[in-house]
Amino acid sequence: MARYEGSCHCGRVAFEVEADLGRTMTCNCSYCQRRGSILTFSPAAVFSLTKGEDALTEYRFHTQKIQHLFCETCGIEAFAKANGPDGTPMVAVNVRCLEGVEPTELSPGTFDGRSR
CB contact at 8 A, 24 and 102: no
Comparison of pLDDT for 64 and 15, the residue scoring more: 15
Cα separation, 91 vs 79, in Å, equals 7
H-helix or E-strand spanning residue 41 = strand 39-43
Average pLDDT for 16-40: 94
Q: Is the pLDDT of residue 64 over 90?
A: no
Instruction: Find out if CATH 2.170.150.70 is the number for domain 2-99.
Output: yes
Comparison of pLDDT for 17 and 63, the residue scoring more: 17
Rg, C-alpha atoms of the chain: 13
Instruction: Return the percent helix, strand and coil in the chain, to nearest 5.
Output: 20, 40, 40
